[in-house]
Amino acid sequence: MDGYPLLNLFWTMLEVFLFVLWFFLLFKVIGDIFRDHAMGGWGKAGWLVFVILLPYLGVLVYLIARGSSMGERDREQARKSEAAFRAYVQEAAGQQPTDGQQPTQADELAKLARLRSDGTLTEDEFQQAKAKLLA
């Protein structure tokens, strides 16, 4: 370690961290350019050329000009992903989506009736489940 002082090690670590952070930001901006449905093809091409040819200035200008709408698109994408996940879980569990609410007693009775009509439950099993639900 005689030829490489501790301060230089910290400086190198900082440079590597900033380099990784820069690439993360660059890919985030490029992803946002393609994700924006309100922007036309020529607008996307223009921003992409600007970001690729002058990366530091292009990313900085993009964040200043479109940073707030970038956050809105991130939130909208998160809401869509959450809704799709909830719908998948409800479908896998065999429930109908109820907008995040607990199924009501009427929903459970309708589900039991559907299972009885499908032949999954016998009449006796249906009556037992119905009595248990109404108790």
SS3 percent helix, strand, coil of the chain, rounded to 5, is 80, 0, 20
Residues 94 and 112 in one domain: no
The string of pLDDT tens digits covering residues 7-38 is 888 999 999 999 999 999 999 999 999 988 88
The string of pLDDT tens digits covering residues 89-135 is 877 776 555 566 677 777 788 888 888 888 888 888 888 888 888 87
Residues 55 and 74 in one domain: yes
User: Residue 100's pLDDT is what?
Assistant: 60
In a domain, 88, yes or no: yes
Residues 48 and 91 in one domain: yes
Residues 64 and 112 in one domain: no
Residues 14 and 58 in one domain: yes
Exposure on the CB side of residue 81, measured as CA atoms within 13 A: 6
pTM for the full model?
Answer: 0.56
In a domain, 1, yes or no: no
